[in-house]
Amino acid sequence: MKYSAPHIITEGSFRYELGTLKGREIQYDFEKILAYLDAKGKLMFGKKFKIYREDREVLYKLSLYFIRDKDRCEQLGIDVDKGLLLSGPVGCGKTSLMKLLKLMVPHRKPYVVIPCRNIVFGFNHIGFKIIGDYGDSQFYCFDDLGVEPEGIYFGKACNVMGEILLSRYELFKNNRIRTHATTNLNANELEQHYGNRVRSRMRELFNLVGFDKHSKDKRQ
């Protein structure tokens, strides 16, 4: 599907212009992006959803990534060709934002947000086939990475997400297939959970964007 004006998004009777078209280039407006995310978030998650002022810095980085503003991303140390690892404390809004942000760029290839624990439960049910299932060209966002249980199939234990991340790394290196993830863990905790080999691959696979560790739980 081609989008002649991908910066204009219609939700019901409302029309959101996230920027202006200058020739063949879209000049996005961050305040308009925030207004759209706030409105769409309320539609998706309920009227209590809101964009918090203290999250603006994180949202700015994420927005630049999704609109692929290469120059500004490079200034912030973000590689638009890599995936995102969005970290932060429980309840800070990571999952909601990853479900939302892809909608502001409908002309880009979307990704599927899937909880890591669901993948492990799938492994426990059908075995190693589940690992191969995620070695495809689909873009994924693995939600709550690092807190999923260990997989067990017919008595054989497996660090399921660790194996999947290794497969996704090969896809990224060979075919530039991006992978995203959210996590509550810091770098040391991720390394303890997956080991140094996977953690090393994650550095190449992801841009790390993090909420402040004192970010409040928005679900309370």
The domain spans of the chain are 8-210
By C-alpha distance, which of 82, 41, 45 is closest to 59? 41
pLDDT at position 48: 93
Q: Domain 8-210 adopts which CATH fold?
A: Rossmann fold (3.40.50)
pLDDT digits (tens, 9 = 90+) for 18-61: 999 888 888 999 999 999 999 999 999 999 999 999 999 999 99
Q: How far apart are CA 21 and CA 19, in angstroms?
A: 7
Kindly report the pTM of this predicted structure: 0.94
Q: How far apart are CA 186 and CA 137, in angstroms?
A: 28
Q: How far apart are CA 84 and CA 206, in angstroms?
A: 5
Q: How far apart are CA 36 and CA 11, in angstroms?
A: 10
